[in-house]
Amino acid sequence: MDSSMSYQTTSSGDSSGGVPGVIVGIILVIWSVVAYWKLFEKAGQPGWAAIIPFYNLFVLLKIIGRPSWWIILYLIPIVNIVTHLIVANDLAKAFGKSSAFGFFALWLFSLIGISILGFGQAQYKGVPSH
């Protein structure tokens, strides 16, 4: 019996496995930025704020009348989920939509909800009463 064993590895050489996912991801990010841009403009805020991390959250909180220190709440695990639910509900109210719209469209399926507000007929009604 031969004590030296050789192992042979094979490689398909195909590195394109993640390319479709990356392309879809880039498309979703661009769609999200454009939808938030339109939403911000409807609310009388600068649309370009949608492309700046953390500042876009500051602008969103301003649109719904929440204090800017709420950005910190987004950094705390579990608390951020509840905070985002409240923000989604307030955003729905700011555009004259129901709490159900806030929960389903803006919290569970946020890209769809933001797209409806940004590209649709929804008009900014002002800061909701808390």
pTM: 0.84
- What is the distance between the alpha carbons of residues 44 and 49, in angstroms, rounded to a whole number? 12
* Sequence spans of domains, the chain: 19-119
HSE-CB at 87 with a 13 A cutoff on CA atoms is 24
Are the C-beta atoms of 63 and 43 separated by less than 8 Å? yes
Residue 86's nearest CA partner among 64, 56, 69, 63 is 64
pLDDT top residue among 105 and 10: 105
Percent of the chain with pLDDT over 70: 87
**What are 97-119's pLDDT values in tens digits?**
999 999 999 999 999 999 999 99
Which of these, 46, 31, 34, 43, lies nearest to 90 by C-alpha position?
43
